[in-house]
Amino acid sequence: MPVYDKKYDVIVVGGGHAGCEAALAASRMGASTLLLNLSLDNTAMMPCNPSIGGPAKGHLVREGSALGGEQADAADASAMLIRMLNTSKGPAVRAPRAQCDLKEYERHFRLKVQTQKGLDVRQEKVSDLWIEEGRARGVRTLYGYDYEASAVVLATGTFLGARVHIGPVSLSSGPLGQEPSNELAASLRSAGLAFRRMRTDTSPRLHVDTLDLAELTAQESDEAPVSLSLWGEGRVLRDYRCYMTRSNPRTHDIVRGNLDRSPLSMGWMRGEGPRYCPSIEAKVINFPEKQSHPVFLEPVSRSNREVYVQNFSTSLPLDAQAEMIHSLPGCGRAFITRPGYAIEYDCLDSTELSPWLEVKKVAGLFCAGQLNGTSGYEEAAAQGLLAGINAALRARGDDPLVLRRSESYIGVLVDDLATKGSPEPYRMLTSRCEHRLILRIDNAGRRLAPLGRRLGLLDDDRWRRINESWRRVDSELERLGRARVAPSDGLNSDLAGVGSSPLTETLFASDLLRRPEVPYSLVARHSPPSDPPRGEEVVSVEVEVKYRGYIDRQERQVERMARMEDVRIPPGLDYSAIPSLLTESRQKLAAVRPVTLGQAGRISGVTPADIHILSVWLDALSRRSGENEAQGRP
Ligand SMILES: Cc1cc2nc3c(=O)[nH]c(=O)nc-3n(C[C@H](O)[C@H](O)[C@H](O)COP(=O)(O)OP(=O)(O)OC[C@H]3O[C@@H](n4cnc5c(N)ncnc54)[C@H](O)[C@@H]3O)c2cc1C
């Protein structure tokens, strides 16, 4: 193939959620970027339920927004329903979730990538990686050119070696009838990278006009405006609803009666399926004691009449799917517009990656998204953003960006992938994060926007608006600490209304707010600010006052652990030369090649005693190199 006459800084392969974010981030940072996609018509395609956010996933999206990512804006712009979830629980697990119009979401991304300065977008099928002397030089395509770049980001999702299964039918296909990507899968294997086979399923779609809505429980959007973007004004959306129904013993009997026709029992599928988003078959098999599972019927677009059947993914034959659907209350006459199916695909063993998403064996090659063994649009976009940033940094010869576990869910996600790997599709959960109270939705901007600004990913207007927001929160916190509230009949009656004891003497407004049952709105009513906090700023004020003690404790813990994160491990360290390490630890350390002592401590199977031995060894090593330097020796 001829070599294309323009050499790029960054090439991104794949125009899904990860690829679009990577391409936008790299080009916005000033890197000349090329985005190659199998089909421009599948840009940011949503082959599963078009919902964005929820606990942990919403945290990833909000953090992406703080770093200048696009997914939150796409979700806000296309939302049909939007809600803040977990409002009755602690602030750490509250998160927005939007049910998006999948066509509008795709259009948002397609327009963004096609109008982004410094970004060329072309339909091409990448067949091969161009690697020379352990370094990525570019990519080769099936019917076009060879393209050269300083860094390459692969974001090929579920397409590598993809096979679709519905009952006894098994065919070579990408999601929703897209072309699979078989040549590239072979090329990556021949580069010596370790792969796994994984699997995920999706649900049938139904025609909304064939549902008996009166038999279903409706769920509306929130009354208060909610947005995923840090800068969104929030919208209240009343035109669409989602509906709830439940599976029942009859549904489960139908599933059981058809299991012998499932692709798993027929031995077609080998890939590992998702533990946290299992098919209805897996639920019936693994939880035989459960008589019922909740099922949600959610709209997918303003431009069609289809609904997605959430929590009901299946790869049983179509006739069995129809019987199962008809057994659900409200779905007795439902018409299936698209059958559910399972898709199996190749993905990278993510321990091949560094904590900045570069393949350790191939300099300049970055991987992001479902290719790395994750599942979900949010996980994909978050990785794409980080990979795009790091590809741009690599192209200009700068140090890579590593996000710490203590500063972001994105850091937790990437550290888990690089350090522990995942034998099954990895989904972000709040329980994976040890610093939940300091990694909240409402403080994502404080944590990451300064970094987004330094990287050149936040424009002046966004930076000014977020600074104004921080100023409002800080001045209100300062005011609450000095304003005094005196007892009065009105105040005591309001306190009684929230189950709080009456005030008998004057106290600081912050002390009143510190009472767990007293909301900020009550305090502000009796001690009004001149420039009141708005929207989620109120949450930040409340959390700062009510949870300060717990936050301090978590911050001290982070400081202690930060010392281990700062101890760097030389890239070529010979673990076989360290005496007394257990063989298992030595093998795992040599396989993962952690970058810091902190990362070494998180490798499963490496004992705390071995981390201590390693730490003493690194100390001695750094003393020796200090002495050598002082004596002018290399
Ligand atoms: C059947 C199914 C069920 C799913 N279920 C869920 C779920 O329940 N919950 C959930 O959160 N997520 C689910 N997902 C996952 C969600 O769709 C993915 O996690 C998300 O799309 C991954 O984004 P990505 O950018 O990594 O890859 P994708 O969105 O798959 O995008 C990959 C891109 O790479 C391009 N590409 C591939 N090969 C080449 C090549 N050789 N040359 C050029 N371009 C190429 C493709 O055209 C595509 O644009 C499901 C996906 C599928 C297919």
- Cα–Cα dist 64/62, whole Å: 5
DSSP state of 236: -
Strands 8-13 and 33-37, sheet pairing:
parallel
- Decide: 320 in ligand 1 pocket, CB within 6 A: no
pLDDT at 237: 81
Amino acid letter for position 446: R
Most confident region among 303-307, 433-437, 605-609 by mean pLDDT: 303-307
- Domain 472-552 is in which class? mainly alpha
Q: From 49, 80, 68, 20, select the one nearest 297 (Cα to Cα).
A: 49
- Cα–Cα dist 476/461, whole Å: 23
Residues of the chain with CATH 1.10.150.570: 567-630
The residue-averaged pLDDT of 282-291 equals 90
Fold of 205-342: Elongation Factor Tu (Ef-tu); domain 3 (2.40.30)
Beta bridge partners of 196: 347
- Decide: 37 in ligand 1 pocket, CB within 6 A: yes
Number of neighbouring beta carbons within 10 Å of residue 268: 17
Work out the pLDDT band at 269, boundaries 50, 70, 90: low
Work out the pLDDT band at 115, boundaries 50, 70, 90: very high
Percent of the chain with pLDDT over 70: 97
Q: CA dist 161 to 60, 123, 186, 225, 361, Å?
A: 28, 19, 8, 43, 22
Fold of 567-630: DNA polymerase; domain 1 (1.10.150)
Task: Choose one of 275, 276, 377, 378 to mutate for the ligand 1 pocket test, by most ligand atoms within 8 angstroms of C-beta.
Answer: 377
pLDDT at 630: 62
CA of 158 to the centre of ligand 1 (A): 5
Most confident region among 108-117, 187-196, 417-426 by mean pLDDT: 108-117
Q: From 133, 606, 74, select the one nearest 380 (Cα to Cα).
A: 74
Work out the pLDDT band at 634, boundaries 50, 70, 90: very low
Query: Rg of the chain's alpha carbons, rounded to an integer?
Result: 26
- Decide: 14 in ligand 1 pocket, CB within 6 A: yes
Task: Choose one of 60, 200, 347 to mutate for the ligand 1 pocket test, by most ligand atoms within 8 angstroms of C-beta.
Answer: 200
Report the first-to-last Cα separation within the chain, whole angstroms.
Answer: 46
pLDDT at 54: 95
Residues of the chain with CATH 1.10.10.1800: 472-552
The residue-averaged pLDDT of 131-148 equals 94
- Cα–Cα dist 458/348, whole Å: 32
- Cα–Cα dist 473/541, whole Å: 6
- Decide: 18 in ligand 1 pocket, CB within 6 A: yes
Of residues 572 and 486, more confidence is placed in: 486
DSSP state of 220: P
Mean pLDDT of the chain: 93
Task: Choose one of 11, 35, 159, 179 to mutate for the ligand 1 pocket test, by most ligand atoms within 8 angstroms of C-beta.
Answer: 159
Enter the tokens of residue 86.
């977990």
pTM score: 0.92
pLDDT at 510: 97
Residues of the chain with CATH 3.50.50.60: 8-198+345-453
Number of neighbouring beta carbons within 10 Å of residue 207: 15
- Decide: 402 in ligand 1 pocket, CB within 6 A: no
Number of neighbouring beta carbons within 10 Å of residue 64: 32
Contact (CB, 8 A) for 124 and 141: yes
User: Residue 221 pLDDT more than 80?
Assistant: no
Residues of the chain with CATH 2.40.30.260: 205-342
Contact (CB, 8 A) for 14 and 369: yes
- The DSSP result for 485-553, as a single string, is E---HHHHHHHHHTT-PPP-S-EEHHHHHHSTT--HHHHHHHS--SS---TTHHHHHHHHHHSHHHHHH
CA of 197 to the centre of ligand 1 (A): 15
Fold of 8-198+345-453: FAD/NAD(P)-binding domain (3.50.50)
Beta bridge partners of 188: none
CA of 604 to the centre of ligand 1 (A): 29
